[in-house]
Amino acid sequence: MVSEAGSRRARARATRERIVESAFRLMSEQGYSATTLTAVAKDAGVAVQTIYFLFHSKPELLRDAFAYAVQGDHTPVSPGERTWFEKMRAEPNLPKALRILIGAMVEIFRRASPLRSAFQALADDPETAAFHARGEQERHEGYGRILDALSAKARLRPGLDRASATDLLFVLLSPEVYRELVVGRGWPESKYADYMASLLGDSLFGSASMNIARGSSSNQERPVRRSRGPGVRVQ
């Protein structure tokens, strides 16, 4: 049986999550500056005072909305605990693993991209600037772990060390590049994913490693053709 205190905490958590979801939706559609806390409160079905009580300020609400966009839900787990990371790490074929990675990043970038410009507008806010800097540092560290999982499937290209490879991955597979190509230049996400898979594979591992990985995959997946003997019909 849930206690009264437990029930109150559950209601408070549900209210907070509803406000964050409303802020994420409105800020993504209208932009940060055009989204008022009054509009967020109306969309979430709460009083404006409730938002101030829970979040204290609009920049703090933005930070929670951005974290929700990156995670895709309200579960505070690291990327290394997400299903897509486990699938990428378990996939032995490098090109397929890259596709899993890029597919996951496209979903994150699609959700988070509309909110990233707000951090530029709030560059003078110390807490928001610190939040953004900390997020970028965590992204870089996470990409290091991703690179370790990928480099277990194929060696990095000659002359490229782990630190430099992590930097390349951090810059190339970034929300900024996604936004410029997909949002700014109108690339379909499928075209972006195809290009990024080729770019990352060649930049980090070299075309030879990618071709070897593709070749071993195709050899494994190619069906065995049975010989057609006299009087034997192959269906």
Here the CATH number for the domain that contains residue 59 is 1.10.357.10
Clarify whether residues 142 and 28 are in a common domain: no
Task: Give the residue numbers spanning the domain of 214.
Answer: 77-219
Q: 90: part of which helix (H) or strand (E)?
A: helix 83-90
**Tens digit of each residue's pLDDT (9 = 90 or more) over 6-31:** 788 899 999 999 999 999 999 999 99
**Confidence check: pLDDT of 56 > 80:** yes
Residue 226 lies in a domain: no
Residues 6+ apart with CB under 8 A from 8: none
Residue 209 lies in a domain: yes
Clarify whether residues 37 and 102 are in a common domain: no
* pTM of the complete model beyond 0.95: no
**Confidence check: pLDDT of 213 > 70:** no
Residue 120 lies in a domain: yes
Clarify whether residues 97 and 66 are in a common domain: no
Residue 202 lies in a domain: yes
Q: How many domains does the chain have?
A: 2
**Torsion angle defined by CA atoms of residues 186, 183, 96 and 145, in that order, rounded to the nearest 10 degrees:** 160
The CA angle 192-137-143, to the nearest 5 degrees, is 45
Clarify whether residues 95 and 134 are in a common domain: yes
Clarify whether residues 62 and 159 are in a common domain: no
Averaged confidence pLDDT in the chain:
87
